[in-house]
A and B are shown apart, each in its own frame.
Chain A
Amino acid sequence: MTDTQDPIIKFSDVTKRFGDLVVLDHFDFEVNLGEKVALIGPSGSGKSTVLRILMTLETIQEGQIELDGIPYREPGGHGPFHASAKHLHNIRSRVGMVFQGFNLFPHMSVLRNITEAPVVVLGLSKREAKERAMQLLEMVGLADKADAFPTQLSGGQKQRVAIARALAMRPRVMLFDEPTSALDPELVGEVQEVIRGLAHEHDLTMLLVTHEMRFAREIADRVCFFDKGRIVEQGPPAEVMVNPQEERTQNFLAPYLADRQAGV
């Protein structure tokens, strides 16, 4: 993590409301190129919303966001995002997202799930897209499942396919929204293993929302603790997760710290 470069992600004074509920409250946040950031905190604290806003799945009411130096809103832009379809397309081409519920396309084979967007969005030939998909399936350990359908896969396998699908678009930023929360405990490891592998990729910026403290500590360069739409405390995991300064962080991390002390 170098502080001198321009951040790849920049939230400036962003406020996001659902009706009366304030989800992000004058929120500032920066992420550097290649940085791996874990977002932790209680449910409803706004951490998933940060990811969803970056993916343009949610609009904001106030403030500014930049990705790769591109502001999310266009001057004079129309619609809920204040941006043209072309502009949103440009932003989305830099971001990939992995969802808690996998969201694989059930009517497509595993291979087709991965090749569809590269073919129709990036204009790759079917052969190129298939090559790329097979490399990624190899990487996530599912090369033998290329012709299977999502219903034939376990949750862990589905999520690994979903990761491959997102990577096939070659995003600069990968967003993981509680990628292991919907999984049976014995399947969590195989998905974490794949994400761990990605964390070694130098240029890939990663944002991970998770409740797996041990995993967050392991892969993150920086941990951000969220509460009530703000980052209450952040820093290297070795500091925030071992010796939290804020009371809310201490309370939230208490079970994890107790486990650590007990040597679990």
Chain B
Amino acid sequence: MMYGFHWDLSNPLAFAWSILPIILIGLTVTVEATILGFIVSLIIGLALALLRRTHTRWVAWPTAVVIEFIRDTPLIVQLFFLYYVLPQFGILLPAFLTGALALGIQYSAYMSEVYRAGLDAVPHGQLEAATALNLSRTRMYVSIIIPQAIPRILPAMGNYLVSMIKDTPVLSVVTVLEMLGLARIIGDRTFRYLVPLTLVGAIFLILSMTASAGVRRLERALPKSGILLR
């Protein structure tokens, strides 16, 4: 029994059906962690990309180092660091928040590269026209560059969204009970791993495919030339 649900071991189908409610509780954690992590990665990723593009060298250069550092260290190391080391400095975050934050930070480094490619792909003439019209640098990004970059970077962002969904099980190592963690506990208690793990795998498959389909729909819905942000 778990969360008040009894499991039925009479046959695999009945077993799967009886543990589904538990796994779905884990699914909400997986989805919440993905959403929060993705939003964090979108925001920090954009910030990193913009900082890296500044003309001020003492800002751009350290930013590049930070991006490289985040990209080149394992997610799980970063996660442990946030979970076990930060409390030593008095920063105590709930496990779920720590996990989502770690996901978001790791992916922000990838995302900053996606943004960079998108921002670089906007033709230089657009920047010159914006300069000639006396738009400030901030305004140039908000009105001209980012709106034109978004349709170009959407497919790559979709890839990272799916990738992040598949990385959420890492959270189980810091005691966050998401789908995979719950499935393993069920396996540990019943000595039957096949059904819970298969179920979790199937749900991940459906989740990822749904996310991909959603991104593709968004791609089709957005005009290729760009969107207005204001």
Instruction: List residues of chain A with CB under 8 Å of any chain B CB.
Output: 55-57, 79-80, 85, 89, 92-93, 95-97, 99, 101, 103-108, 112, 116-117, 120-121, 149-151, 162, 165-166, 169
Contact of A95 among B132, B137, B147, B226 (CB under 8 A): B132
B54 CB to nearest A CB, Å: 12
Q: Are the C-beta atoms of B125 and A99 separated by less than 8 Å?
A: yes
B142 CB to nearest A CB, Å: 9
Q: Are the C-beta atoms of B227 and A107 separated by less than 8 Å?
A: yes
Interface flag for B87 (CB, 8 Å): no
* Residues of B with C-beta under 8 A to A92: 131-132, 134
* Residues of A with C-beta under 8 A to B77: none
9 closest cross-chain pairs (CB), A and B: A107-B226, A103-B129, A117-B133, A106-B225, A103-B125, A97-B132, A92-B134, A107-B225, A121-B134
Contact of A89 among B128, B136, B144 (CB under 8 A): B136
B130 CB to nearest A CB, Å: 8
Say whether, besides A85-B137, A116-B143, A149-B225, A105 and B129 are in contact (CB < 8 Å). Answer: yes
CA distance A104 to B126 in the complex (A): 7
Q: Are the C-beta atoms of A120 and B143 separated by less than 8 Å?
A: yes
CA distance A80 to B57 in the complex (A): 13
Contact of B228 among A104, A108, A120 (CB under 8 A): A108
Q: Are the C-beta atoms of B132 and A96 separated by less than 8 Å?
A: yes
Residue of A nearest to B150 (CB): A107
Q: Are the C-beta atoms of A57 and B128 separated by less than 8 Å?
A: yes
* Residues of B with C-beta under 8 A to A149: 225
Q: Are the C-beta atoms of B132 and A107 separated by less than 8 Å?
A: no
B147 CB to nearest A CB, Å: 5
* Residues of B with C-beta under 8 A to A150: 225
Residue of B nearest to A95 (CB): B132
Q: 13 other contacts beyond A57-B128, A105-B144, with CB at 8 A cut-off?
A: A80-B55, A85-B136, A85-B137, A89-B134, A89-B136, A92-B132, A93-B134, A99-B128, A103-B125, A103-B126, A105-B143, A107-B148, A121-B135
Q: Are the C-beta atoms of B126 and A117 separated by less than 8 Å?
A: no
* Residues of B with C-beta under 8 A to A105: 126, 129, 143-144, 148, 226
Residue of A nearest to B142 (CB): A120
CA distance A162 to B129 in the complex (A): 9
Say whether, besides A101-B125, A106-B226, A120-B139, A165 and B133 are in contact (CB < 8 Å). Answer: yes
Q: Are the C-beta atoms of B223 and A107 separated by less than 8 Å?
A: yes
* Residues of B with C-beta under 8 A to A108: 228
Residue of B nearest to A122 (CB): B134
CA distance A151 to B129 in the complex (A): 17
CA distance A249 to B91 in the complex (A): 75
CA distance A167 to B125 in the complex (A): 18
A118 CB to nearest B CB, Å: 9
Q: List 26 A-B contacts (CB under 8 A).
A: A55-B132, A57-B128, A79-B55, A80-B55, A89-B134, A89-B136, A99-B132, A103-B126, A103-B128, A103-B129, A104-B129, A105-B226, A106-B225, A106-B226, A107-B223, A107-B225, A117-B134, A117-B135, A120-B139, A120-B143, A121-B139, A150-B225, A151-B225, A165-B133, A166-B132, A169-B134
* Residues of B with C-beta under 8 A to A56: 131
CA distance A254 to B144 in the complex (A): 44
* Residues of B with C-beta under 8 A to A96: 132
In this complex, which of B134, B136, B148, B223 has the most chain A Cβ atoms within 10 angstroms of its Cβ? B134
Q: Which of B189-230 contact A (CB under 8 A)?
A: 223, 225-228
CA distance A97 to B134 in the complex (A): 11
Q: Which of B95-136 contact A (CB under 8 A)?
A: 123, 125-126, 128-129, 131-136
CA distance A16 to B175 in the complex (A): 63
Q: Are the C-beta atoms of A57 and B129 separated by less than 8 Å?
A: no
CA distance A193 to B149 in the complex (A): 35
* Residues of A with C-beta under 8 A to B136: 85, 89, 121
CA distance A64 to B132 in the complex (A): 20
Residue of B nearest to A151 (CB): B225
Q: Are the C-beta atoms of A107 and B228 separated by less than 8 Å?
A: yes
CA distance A166 to B227 in the complex (A): 22
CA distance A104 to B128 in the complex (A): 11
Q: Are the C-beta atoms of B129 and A99 separated by less than 8 Å?
A: yes
